[in-house]
Homo-oligomer: A and B are copies of this chain.
């Protein structure tokens, strides 16, 4: 692993343990086993780490989703697999998700979010297009548009549970929310088997 990757990995680890605010650059460099100054050869500031971290997370999410959604499954099964996968990633990595929002939102890096998310949009868009071709879902919207709305809806539903909510009954509310999200999506896409 080169120094830049090492910094990103260490930063994710330390941020997750201590929280973004309480993490100092010297914590990160200590964890990475490099000198203070070296950090600034690779990143101009602490927060400029965030797009790099966000990229790692989106790649992980996309990987999880691609693995979860079976090529051969029916569209409604794929939809369920997709929702389950998004919820699973959000459950496992909610601290990092929160961190990314904070980091991206608090800087001029907000605009990079769309670029980072682009592969995700693209992948969902192709799945949607296939569904439309098979006549499984309505064809009166462009796949790219539907992809953005599907991802936005599902992530926001997952965040409502894992980021913003208290943790009591999280399991129960998560499965409820998943069920509702799936139903909502099924209607929204005009699904007919």
Contacts and interface: CB of A to CB of B under 8 A. Distances in A.
A180 interface: yes
Nearest to A180: B145
Contacts of A35: none
Chain A interface bracket (under 10, 10 to 19, 20 to 34, 35 or more): 35 or more
User: How many copies of this chain sit in the oligomeric assembly?
Assistant: 2
Given A114-B164, A188-B187, A189-B187, A180 B102 contact: no
Interface stretch (A3-11, A36-44, A63-71, A155-163): A155-163
Interface stretch (A24-32, A73-81, A84-92, A146-154): A146-154
A74 B166 CA distance: 36
Given A102-B105, A113-B163, A146-B180, 20 more contacts: A20-B106, A21-B106, A21-B107, A99-B105, A101-B102, A101-B105, A106-B106, A110-B163, A111-B164, A114-B165, A114-B166, A140-B183, A141-B180, A141-B184, A146-B184, A149-B157, A149-B180, A152-B159, A155-B156, A187-B189
Interface of A: 19-21, 47, 98-99, 101-108, 110-111, 113-114, 138, 140-142, 145-146, 148-149, 152-153, 155-157, 159-160, 163-166, 176-177, 180-181, 183-185, 187-190
